[in-house]
Structure 1
Amino acid sequence: MDRNKLSKLLLNTYTNAILSWMILLSLVFVAFVNFTDGRYAWGALNAFAVCIILLPGLSFKNLSIMPPWYLLMLVALPMTGNIIDHHLFSTNIPHYVSVATIALLVAAEINWFTSVKMGHRFAIIFVFITTLAISGLWYLMQWLLDTNIGTSFILDGRSQEAINTAVMYEFMYATVAGIVAGLIFGWYFGYKKSAAASNIIFPPKDPRYIPTYILSRPPAPIRKLLGISPQKQELATRIMQVCLLIMVFVGMYLGDTHVVLNAVIALGITFVPSVLTRKYYISLDPSLTLWITLAVFLDALGTLSFYDTVARWDHLTHSLSASVIAAAGYVTIRTVDIYTDELYIPPRFMFIFIILFVLAAGVIWEILEFLTDEMVVKFEMKAFLTQHGIDDTMWDMFFDLLGALAVATWGTAYLSDISHRLARRIEAFSASRNEK
């Protein structure tokens, strides 16, 4: 099964052990240099990489079992080059490739040594998401430190726009690195497909720790907090849809394509639950439909000057949008999880995955906003998406994180039922195709 492909990330040969240990010792030296020079963040990353590389050998009580030396080179070269010459690389893409390689090893070890089950394809997706999420979280944490305790990691005296531009380029480097790393790892697993089976015996998955899935309802305190009947929730959804339609005509009357475009897209999204019900016979709970509609309605409403005149409106919409993205990610992964035996994501790992997924989506969104602003300036167009400096970007990321935490903490209780229904629908569709 796919787990055998992930097993190709470990070798037990004399040559690989010698080369891997040489690279590992160089990483230990690099970590020591970084800590002594006061570069604690880099030192911590180096130390973490050393621990991840050593973990399989320690687990199997055989220190000749190591990841392939050529993958470890992807980890070590940027880190080593960084202490030799801070400007050795023209961009930080190699550094993010290093982070992506560490993420791949982490994903593999989670698969080997915990109850999590994942194939190599999901591991590659996890690597891409993690690379983007780490870049977003890294700059968010630095910004929070700068604004709260007076450090100068990124708020170093440059203008808000200059700092934001630099961070956006870092986000783009992380995206490129995630794609490149995914292609490299995909090629690696394909290249190793015909290789001999690994002689390393991995610990078996204990079925007692892989429970069957059960349907769940939202916790009682949350149900009481809502206190709105399904009929009233549906009415609220219809009212917002009508308002969005009115916004389309208002935007056309004002000649504001920004308002029209956002209202049309939002209105289309609100009908997705109806399409799922009519075409695929998958009905969503009224509260879920209201949740989605409210998020897109407030975002579209913001284009009628609310973003500029109402304080924190942007933060509210980012939190709600992030919660919808988190919900979509959860439903997708949990549906696949239920449908196939090759994937199992327990709640604790799902909590982490949702946060990483939303942060990665937030990074991509900020890149789109930045590129849109650049095109607006170059082609003298009317802005559809705008950024207002590094503070605006980081506040967006912060509220994205809050929305993700809300869904990861208790929102998934609303989503397990739809995941089961989607999985059953997929099973029925597969069965009908097999019969044909």
Structure 2
Amino acid sequence: MAAELLLLLRAERWMHAFLVVAVMAATVVPFLAPKRLGVVIPAELQILAILFIFATLFLGEVRAYYERLWWWDLALHATAGLLLGLVGFLIVYILNENDLVDLQMRPSFVALFAFFFSVGIGTLWEIFEFAMDQIFGLTMQKPMLGDLSGLTDTMWDLIVDALGATVMSVTGWRYMKGIRNGRVDTWVSRFIARNPQLFGRKG
């Protein structure tokens, strides 16, 4: 990425150079989070976050994978739905299980919150894409299936966001029901075990 940045600066492609700098900075965030926030993030989740940022900004925008591979954007939105669903689940699960918070929510409500949290963030991102296209003349909303307006692209993005969010919400619901099965369940368990302070418990 450093070599790519030098080439972009030489070619005066300022927007892409900015994106590469953003990717390089974002890859550091997961490693700073434990020190800044006092939260221990499992290595698998850190790697997933870094790969997602790299695939979205560097490969997608700088290397134009969005234009080269028609399914690239859909795959990333499905992944985003999964990751955001996991974040939404953990937010409510932490509150639900914290010994210092007098709050008990049913697994179905926690799962529902995780779903709408993920879809809501995905919707805000689509609004951001629309605003960037309108204000700065970008093409973040890509033509798709013969639709030059970008509406079809936006709707398919939201559909795969919802599908990813559904998978994670169901997984979270199964976890709270005691059905521990799968790699995601292991990640949630490790996150909880490594961050007892978030639950009002002593480590």
TM-score by length of 1: 0.37
Which amino acid in 1 is paired with 2:88? G
The separation in 2 between residues aligned to 1:426 and 1:344, in whole angstroms, is 13
Q: Does 1:342 align with 2:115?
A: no
Alignment partner of 1:351 out of 99, 103, 111: 111
Query: 1:246/1:374 Cα in 2 relative to 1: closer, same or farther (>3 Å)?
Result: same
The higher relative CO (CA closer than 8 Å, separation ≥ 6) is in 2
Residue 350 of structure 1, CA deviation: 2.0
Which residue in 2 is equivalent to 1:290? 47
Deviation at 1:423, TM superposition (A): 5.2
Indicate conservation of the 8 Å contact 2:5/2:21, yes or no.
yes
Q: Which runs of 4+ in 1 moved over 6 A?
A: none
Deviation at 1:280, TM superposition (A): 4.6
Gaps of 5+ in 1: 1-243, 378-382, 429-436
Q: Deviation per CA, 1:187-229, whole angstroms, max 9, x where unpaired?
A: xxxxxxxxxxxxxxxxxxxxxxxxxxxxxxxxxxxxxxxxxxx
Letter in 2 for 1:258: M
Supply the AA of the counterpart residue of 1:363: T
Q: 1:269 aligns with which of 7, 22, 26?
A: 26
Specify the code of the residue in structure 2 equivalent to 1:286.
A
Change (3 A) 1:360 1:310: same
- In structure 2, the CA distance between the partners of 1:417 and 1:327, relative to structure 1 (3 Å rule), is same
Q: Is the 8 A contact 2:5 2:17 kept in 1?
A: yes
Question: What is the rounded CA distance, in whole Å, between the counterparts of 1:270 and 1:334 in structure 2?
Answer: 26
Structure 1 residues 404 and 246: alpha-carbon distance in aligned structure 2, compared to 1, 3 A threshold: farther
Q: Identify which of 131, 141, 165 aligns with 1:404.
A: 165
> Secondary structure in 1 aligned to 2:141?
coil
Could you tell me which of 164, 188, 191 is aligned with 1:415?
A: 188
Tell me the secondary structure at the aligned position of residue 359 of structure 1. Answer: helix
Q: 2:15 aligns with which of 247, 258, 262?
A: 258
**Aligned partner (choices 373, 393, 396) of residue 154 of structure 2:** 393
Hey, what's the Cα distance between the residues in 1 that align with 2:130 and 2:151? Answer: 11
Output the amino acid matched with 2:115. Answer: I
Q: Percent identity?
A: 21
* Residue of structure 2 equivalent to 1:73: none
Q: Secondary structure at the match of 1:386?
A: coil
Q: Does the CA contact (< 8 Å) of 1:334 and 1:419 recur in 2?
A: no
Aligned residue runs from structure 1 range 205-284, under 5 A: 244-284=1-41
Q: 2:147 — aligned with what? A: none
Q: CA deviation at 1:259?
A: 2.3
Count of aligned positions: 180
Aligned pairs (5 A) from 1:34-113: none
